[in-house]
A and B are shown apart, each in its own frame.
Chain A
Amino acid sequence: RKEVEQDPGPFNVPEGATVAFNCTYSNSASQSFFWYRQDCRKEPKLLMSVYSSGNEDGRFTAQLNRASQYISLLIRDSKLSDSATYLCVVNNQAGTALIFGKGTTLSVSS
């Protein structure tokens, strides 16, 4: 099993749609979880951290299920500007580095 697995997509949705991305991770000892966003030919940037109780930031909601080793990202009311690749990220066993999933591509159209 790969350390962090994501559905690569692409997800093609109209503006205003709600879309959800899922991610599974293999290391049950992982303590830190994130979603990063990467625009085409740009560097990844932090979108949001993921907390055990779940957290929300505007139109974005992240959930963590430790028992199933599963992380999700929900985007409501999609905007054209949400088009990007979303990377699921967890820390490695030693806690010294982050492991990145290959990303899920989202394309929002008008």
Chain B
Amino acid sequence: NAGVTQTPKFRVLKTGQSMTLLCAQDMNHEYMYWYRQDPGMGLRLIHYSVGEGTTAKGEVPDGYNVSRLKKQNFLLGLESAAPSQTSVYFCASRDRYNEQFFGPGTRLTVL
């Protein structure tokens, strides 16, 4: 039982490049989330999904897109990366008791 996994763990991009972060969970959770964490800013919700095929905007959605084609996967896309998107990205899924389980994070640097 791997819980929540994220790939890649680290990535360096140049401004304007695109990439997709993958999150996978094997706990059969309906709800999944993408956060970013920056020094002094705490965890901020980017997008979330309440089930397969559904997505919704969080607090800081601009510059990101998401897809939830399969229940176990939640993808976060950056179409044209900017230095302001340098951050640590965490994915999480939620059980029916509202406990959220986080992945280990992806450290992204945009030059």
- The total of Cβ contacts below 8 Å across the A-B interface reads 43
Q: Chain B: interface secondary structure? A: strand
Which of under 10, 10 to 19, 20 to 34, or 35 or more describes the interface residues of B? 20 to 34
Query: Which A residues are CB-close (under 8 A) to B50?
Result: 96
CB contacts under 8 Å to B, within A45-60, are 45-46, 49
B104-A97 in contact (CB<8A): no
Contact with A along B28-45 (1 / 0, CB 8 A): 000101010000111101
Known A43-B90, A44-B90, A87-B43; judge A98-B100 contact (CB<8 A): yes
Residue count of chain A within 8 Å CB distance of chain B:
18
Does any Cβ of B come within 8 Å of A100's Cβ?
Answer: yes
Query: Which A residues are CB-close (under 8 A) to B45?
Result: 97, 99
B104-A42 in contact (CB<8A): yes
Residues on B lying within 8 angstroms of A by beta carbon are 31, 33, 35, 40-43, 45, 48, 50, 56, 58, 90, 94, 97-100, 102-105
Residues on A lying within 8 angstroms of B by beta carbon are 32, 34, 42-46, 49, 87, 91, 96-103
